[in-house]
């Protein structure tokens, strides 16, 4: 079921998404959010395992699937057989971008190598998302998001200093690889406008994670400094932490910039802290981070959350609640910006989910429909490719689709 939206910035761009789980499909989701026609190719019978993952409805339907498969059309196709590969080549001949997240060499084994695809569609952009990239000694290994998070350095820095490394509560490594794959696809589209030719976008999970690691590699190389786990704070960045309130809640205050800290000191009724040698500068606060956090926590605990936030905002100090999903649904800013939207699938089931980001003023993206049924659009896509009813029926009877 389609929700009416104006054409997005990628309207007219056809994307074929092969693969499963998160890393590759998240790239497909982002491209679909921006208006591309995303045709998801799934194996006949089972389809993408994401159809079964995560929390489910009372009927057993995945609540992850409607989000990651939104704005996509689903076709079933057995890529392991010659007839299925022929259908795939015909589809890719009429497409702009292929997104896949198989192990390196899989497309080549299926007679879908970049070189063969470029023979008939030289403008095709081939986005390849893997754990370790298309080259190097680790390339053949199976690569999951959690492994990439560990190899890229994120897992080591996540958690409390006196405990083993923890993890984020989401599949951040996969999503980062999909995000960088999207950036690469858009850059390749721009290059194609000049050259007329496509290229390979090689997005490795561990490298996408590594790209987010700020100066940690440089610090080690330049001065031998290894960042360590620091829990809820960043070393030398103070104050920027979660502080308790009188109603057994907490808020996050970010006042690490010198001018902002002076505003916080004023709100606290302690303006002298802004000129105290221990706290007056960024570097000084970094050296006295723990005692400053304890001082602020003692002050914040005397106020209820609403009262404290009102004081801080009035004083120009960045602060906010630590949101859970229920808080998002109740928040007026989320509502005013339509940050959470509702959409339906073809069965009329309604789902709430996060809206498209970023927002484009002239050609905004949108959530047009929730994840499709397995193979919902197979016959329509094949008809568009020139297959007649008899040809489609034969593909069905041969279990190719």
Instruction: Give the residue numbers marked as catalytic.
Output: 174
Q: Name the pairing type of β-strands 250-254 and 319-321.
A: antiparallel
User: What is d(CA 199, CA 27) in angstroms, rounded to the nearest whole number?
Assistant: 16
Match 């009877």 to its residue by tokens: 397
Count of CA atoms in the C-beta half-sphere (13 A) of 51:
15
Decide: residue 172, CB within 10 A, 0-12 exposed, 13-18 middle, 19+ buried.
buried
Decide: residue 276, CB within 10 A, 0-12 exposed, 13-18 middle, 19+ buried.
middle
Buried (b) or exposed (e) across 38-71, using 16+ Cβ within 10 A?
A: bbbbbebeebbebbeeeeeeeeebbebbbbbbbb
Q: Name the pairing type of β-strands 240-244 and 250-254.
A: antiparallel
């Amino acid at each position: 079921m389609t929700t009416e939206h104006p054409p997005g910035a990628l309207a007219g761009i056809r994307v074929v998404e092969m693969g499963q789980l998160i890393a590759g499909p998240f790239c497909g989701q982002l491209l679909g959010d921006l208006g591309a026609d995303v045709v998801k190719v799934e194996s006949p019978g089972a389809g993408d395992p994401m159809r079964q993952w995560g929390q489910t409805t009372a009927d057993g339907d995945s609540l992850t699937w409607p989000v990651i498969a939104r704005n996509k059309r689903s076709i079933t196709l057995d890529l392991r057989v010659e007839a299925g590969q022929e259908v795939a080549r015909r589809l890719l001949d009429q497409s702009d971008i292929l997104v896949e997240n198989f192990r390196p060499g899989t497309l080549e084994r299926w007679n879908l190598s970049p070189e063969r695809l470029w023979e008939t569609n030289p403008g095709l952009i081939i986005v390849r998302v893997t754990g370790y990239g298309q080259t190097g000694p680790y390339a053949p290994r199976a690569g999951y998001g959690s492994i990439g998070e560990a190899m890229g350095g994120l897992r080591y820095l996540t958690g409390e200093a006196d405990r083993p490394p923890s993890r984020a509560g989401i599949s951040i490594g996969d999503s980062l690889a999909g995000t960088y794959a999207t950036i690469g696809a858009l850059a390749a589209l721009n290059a194609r406008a000049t050259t007329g030719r496509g290229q390979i976008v090689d997005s490795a999970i561990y490298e996408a994670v590594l790209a987010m690691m700020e100066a940690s590699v440089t610090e080690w190389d330049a001065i031998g400094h290894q960042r360590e786990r620091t829990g809820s704070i960043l070393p030398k960045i103070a104050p920027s932490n979660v502080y308790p309130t009188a109603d057994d809640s907490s808020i996050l205050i970010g006042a690490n910039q010198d001018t902002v800290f002076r505003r916080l000191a004023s709100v606290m009724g302690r303006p002298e802290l802004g000129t105290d040698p221990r706290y007056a500068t960024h570097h000084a606060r970094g050296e006295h981070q723990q005692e400053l956090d304890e001082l602020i926590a003692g002050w914040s605990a005397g106020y209820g959350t609403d009262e404290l936030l009102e004081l801080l905002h009035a004083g120009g100090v960045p602060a906010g609640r630590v949101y859970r999903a229920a808080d998002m649904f109740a928040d007026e800013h989320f509502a005013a910006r339509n940050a959470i939207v509702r959409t339906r699938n073809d069965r009329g089931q309604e789902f709430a989910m996060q809206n498209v980001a970023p927002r484009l003023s002239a050609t905004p993206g949108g959530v047009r429909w929730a994840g499709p049924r397995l193979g919902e659009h197979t016959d329509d896509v094949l008809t568009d490719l020139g297959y007649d009813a008899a040809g489609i029926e034969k593909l069905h009877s041969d279990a190719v689709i």
